[in-house]
Structure formats: C-alpha cells, structure tokens
Amino acid sequence: MTPRERVLAVLNRQPVDRLPVDLWHTPEVAAILRGHFGVDDDFSMWRALGLDKIVWVFPDYRTRGGDRAGAQSGAGAESGGLQTAWGVPLNEVQAGEARYVEFGDAPLAGITSTVEVDRYSAWPTVEGFDYEASIALARRASTEYVTIGPWVSHFEIYCQLRGLERALMDLAEHPGLVEAVLDRIESIQTGMMERLLPRVKGYLDLVFVSDDIAGQRSLLMSPRAWRTHLQPRLKRWCDLIHAHGLRVFYHTDGAARPLLGPILDCGVDVLNPIQHACPGMDLAGLKREFGSRVIFHGGVDNQSVLPRGTVEQVRTEVMDCLRTLGAGQGGFICASCHNLQPGTPLENILTMVETVQQSGG
C-alpha cells in the first residue's frame, strides 16, 4: 500500500498491510534527517524514511501592510516574523541546539469590557490568508500523502490574546468577555474555512482543530466551563468540516480524560496525541472506552522515552502502543506525542519508524 492508501484505510477502518507511522518534528530534527538520507527537501526525506506522513497544509497570513505574519499557521508559536496573525508579538529564543518562538505581551491583556473587543485593530481578516499557496501544497502532497489543514483553534488563541493566567481567571471572573472574544475568534476562522475548504476538495482530508484543554496532571478548566464556552463552538466546526466531506483531527495535550467523551460527542474523528504519561490517559483504558468511536494518532512518548531512552526502550514503547491502541480493527496511526525535539537520538527516531514498519498487519 502507498502511504496515502494506508492512512485512508485506517481512517475508514479497512484492512491494512501494517499500521501507519507518522512523525512530528522541529525544523532542526528535519535537517538532521535530511542530512542522514542525503536529500534536500522534506518530501524526499519522508520517502527515504518510508513515512506515512500526514502533511500539514496551514495557510500563511499577510498583514495589512503585506508582510508575512506566519511561516506555517499564521496563528501559533511556530509562526515566523514579528507577530502572529492575531497581532500577538513573537520573540525568538535560542535554547541549546533549538530555536523557539515564544509569545510576547498579550495584546488584549488590559481590556475590561466587551466594547473594547470591537476596538482591537489587529483582528485578522478572512481576505488576509494565503489560500493559493496552501491549495498548491495540498494538491501536490495529496498525490502521495494524506493532508491536514488548516490549523484552527478557540481557546489557544484566546490564551495568546489575553495571556495564559489571565485567560484561566477569565473563565471564572469574566465569562461575558470570554464569549465576546471567542465569538470573534470563531467567526474569523469559520470564514477562512468557508473560503478554503471548497477550493481544496479532493486534495484535503483532515482539518486540524488544536485546543489544549489540559495540563500534565489535570484539566486547565472545569468541565462546566468547557461545556459553556467551547463545546458548542467545537460542535459547529465539526459540522462544518463534515459538511465538506472532511474529517476532524482534534489535538489536546495532557490529562484530558474527563472531557474526552464530550469532545468525541461533538464529532471528532481523530484524537491526538494520547499523552499516556498523564493521569487517566492509560492506553488500554482509552482503547477500551473510545476505540470504537475514534481513530487514535500519536502515543509514543517524546518527553522521556524518545529523547532519553535506549533503542530497546523505544522499541518496547512503540510495541506497547501498537498492541493497545492498534488492537482489534486497528484505528491507530502511530506517531510521537508531539514534535521531536533537537537532541533526540537519531537511532531512536529510526527505531520508532522501523518498529512500526516491521510489525506487519
């Protein structure tokens, strides 16, 4: 089977020759892998590695002055330039071998009323997204791989605009302000999707909804707050995405177990990243309760095992994921739980991929 055929078969719960293996990585890790295989671009590296890559198709955004605001999504910390599409300033940080971009001062941190939401001058426009480049990438990638895009989010963007601590306090102290800001965030991205999705018909397979609602040990918000502010919005997006014949790929890190059922009720098709080191996220339990309802993506620990474990420990970790999340009719795309970081041993990355490839159907 080709990488595209293999992933689509899993999404459709059809038989496969083996389970797929995807890889998330930082630019530094991509450069190491390209050097290892002696190739010049990521497509060639994915082919050499034999990946069943799900290719990210995230529209860039251009500011009113015409400058590029984002190198990938135009919304998250992986954006390039001086700010995100939402007017959040970005600061470059060098940490050892890695270059990261962190959010600067939250531009809406000082507002106290819903009236001030409308006065914010840096709201992105639907017209500002670079649709043509993302359409071209989706067309090219879809001949070999499954594609995913755009990157859309509710609460993560709210946290960028207000600052994390203030955003969490808002849920208890300023629910009206939360609603007003989220209304703008939802409306802009809904408009962007309504413009993009019809134009990538046949080239796009999944839409990436990223909304971290949990930390390493517990939820970031109460289930009541999630149901009030985020559940209806997620349901509307799932309905919109499904109306275009696409699937919903939902990302939340952390100990999200108490809200997984309601999240899936909204219409989520693929759940990522299955961070099983967190309380309540044990692989067997998640598979037993949710395996018939959702496709799992991720599973392989990249906080401890991949960066610090031995080759044998990596092999054991991958096999545990395959035996649990991939049991029964499959329903699992094996991948690292998040981007592989600089300093992750090359042999561990190769072992992860090769273990899946050698596992059989």
Task: Provide the terminal-to-terminal Cα distance of the chain, rounded to the nearest Å.
Answer: 11
Give CB contacts under 8 A, 24+ apart, made by 272-276: 272/296, 272/297, 272/298, 272/335, 273/297, 273/298, 273/299, 273/335, 273/336, 273/337, 273/338, 274/298, 274/299, 274/325, 274/337, 275/301, 275/337, 276/301
Structure token digits, residue 96:
């050892």
What pLDDT was estimated at residue 79?
Answer: 62
What pLDDT was estimated at residue 116?
Answer: 97
* Contact partners, residue 178, CB within 8 Å, separation at least 6: 158, 170, 171, 229
Structure token digits, residue 230:
């985020």
Among the listed residues 120, 98, 97, the one whose alpha carbon sits nearest the alpha carbon of residue 109: 120
Cis peptide before 273 (omega within 30 of 0): yes
Sign of CA dihedral 198, 199, 205, 209: negative
Instruction: Note whether 325 and 274 are within 8 A (CB).
Output: yes
What pLDDT was estimated at residue 95?
Answer: 83
What pLDDT was estimated at residue 96?
Answer: 81
Q: What's the angle, vertex CA 92, arms to CA 341 and CA 298, rounded to 5? A: 30
Which sequence spans correspond to the domains of the chain? 3-357
* DSSP tag of 97: T
What pLDDT was estimated at residue 331?
Answer: 96
Among left, alpha and beta (phi > 0; psi -120 to 50; other), residue 292 is alpha
Tell me the one-letter amino acid at 96: G
- Measured in degrees and rounded to the nearest 5, phi and psi for residue 75 equal -135, -35
Among the listed residues 229, 225, 270, 232, the one whose alpha carbon sits nearest the alpha carbon of residue 252: 270
**CATH dotted code for 3-357:** 3.20.20.210
Tell me the one-letter amino acid at 92: E
Q: What's the angle, vertex CA 216, arms to CA 213 and CA 220, rounded to 5? A: 30
Q: CA dihedral defined by 109, 110, 113, 115, rounded to 10 degrees?
A: -90
CA distance 284 to 263: 19
CA distance 258 to 275: 14
What pLDDT was estimated at residue 72?
Answer: 36
Structure token digits, residue 69:
């605001």
- CA distances for 40 relative to 21, 244, 349, angstroms: 22, 35, 19
What pLDDT was estimated at residue 330?
Answer: 87
Sign of CA dihedral 337, 318, 49, 207: negative
- Residue 102, strand partner residues: 91
**Residue-by-residue pLDDT tens, the chain, 361 positions:** 999 999 999 999 999 999 999 999 999 999 999 999 999 999 999 999 999 999 999 999 986 555 544 433 354 545 667 889 999 999 999 888 888 889 999 999 999 999 999 999 999 999 999 999 999 999 999 999 999 999 999 999 999 999 999 999 999 999 999 999 999 999 999 999 999 999 999 999 999 999 999 999 999 999 999 999 999 999 999 999 999 999 999 999 999 999 999 999 999 999 999 999 999 999 999 999 999 999 999 999 999 999 999 999 999 999 999 999 999 888 999 999 999 999 999 999 999 999 999 997 6
